Copies of this chain bind each other. A is one copy, B any other.
Amino acid sequence: MAKDTKERILATALEMFSQNGYAGTNIRELAASLGLVKSGVYKHFASKEEIWNALLDEMIAYYDEHFGSPEHLPPVPDSPEGLVAMTMRMVDFTVRDEKIVMTRKLLTIEQFRDERARALATKHFLTGLTEMFTHVFSGMMDKGLLRRDDPAMLAFAYTAPISALIHLCDREPEKTEAAIAQAEAFSRHFVKTYGAM
Binding site for B on A (CB under 8 A): 18-24, 105, 108-109, 111-113, 118, 121-122, 125-126, 150, 153, 156-157, 160-161, 163-164, 167-168, 170-172, 182, 185-186, 189-190, 193-194
Contact = CB atoms under 8 A, between A and B. Distances in A.
A160 B81 CA distance: 23
A171 B125 CA distance: 11
Contact of A160 (B19, B153, B161): B161
7 contacts: A21-B109, A23-B23, A122-B171, A125-B167, A126-B164, A126-B168, A164-B164
B21 A171 contact: no
A153 B163 CA distance: 15
Nearest to A26: B23
A112 B179 CA distance: 18
A134 to B, nearest CB: 14
A193 B150 CA distance: 12
Contacts of A111: 108, 171
Contacts of A150: 189
A152 to B, nearest CB: 10
Query: Which 8 pairs of residues, A with B, have the shortest CB-CB distance?
Result: A23-B24, A160-B161, A160-B164, A23-B23, A160-B160, A21-B21, A153-B189, A111-B171
Contacts of A20: 23, 113
Contact of A172 (B22, B122, B189): B122
A125 B164 contact: yes
Contact of A153 (B113, B118, B186): B186
B171 A113 contact: no
Contacts of A113: 19-21, 24
A158 to B, nearest CB: 9
A184 to B, nearest CB: 12
A43 to B, nearest CB: 26
A21 B164 CA distance: 22
